[in-house]
Chains A and B, each alone.
Chain A
Amino acid sequence: MSESAHPEALQHQFVDLAQQKEAASLGMWVFIAQEILFFGGLFASYAIYRYEYPAAFSAGSHHLSWRIGFANTLVLIASSLTMAMAVYSAEVGRRKHVAGFILATILLGSVFLGVKYFEYSEKIAPCLGDGPHAGCLLPGDRFDASTVHLEGAEGRHAQIFFSLYFGMTGLHALHMIVGIPILATIAVMSLRGRFTPEYHTPVELVGLYWHFVDIIWIFLFPLLYLIGAH
Chain B
Amino acid sequence: MSEPAAARTETASPPHHVVSGRVYLAVFAALCLLTAVSVIVTGYDFGPLNLLVALGVSVAKSTLVVLYFMHARYRPKLTGVVIAAALGVFVILVFLTMTDYVSRPWPLAPAR
Contacts and interface: CB of A to CB of B under 8 A. Distances in A.
A223 B14 contact: no
A218 B101 contact: no
Contacts of B78: 26
Interface string A191-230: 0000000000000100110011011001101110011111
Contact of A211 (B18, B69, B109): B69
A25 B57 CA distance: 28
A120 B103 CA distance: 36
B38 A48 contact: no
A207 B72 CA distance: 12
A36 B94 CA distance: 12
Contact of A208 (B18, B70, B90): B70
Interface residues of B, number: 59
A36 B82 contact: no
B25 A81 contact: yes
B29 to A, nearest CB: 10
Interface of A: 1-3, 15-16, 18-19, 22, 25-26, 29-30, 32-34, 36-37, 40-41, 43-44, 47-48, 51-54, 66, 70, 73-74, 77-78, 80-81, 83-85, 88, 91-92, 204, 207-208, 211-212, 214-215, 218-219, 221-223, 226-230
Interface of B: 5-6, 8-9, 12-14, 16, 18-21, 24-25, 27-28, 31-32, 35-36, 38-39, 42-45, 50, 54-55, 57-58, 61-62, 65-66, 68-71, 75-76, 78-79, 82-83, 85-87, 89-90, 93-94, 97-98, 101-102, 108-110
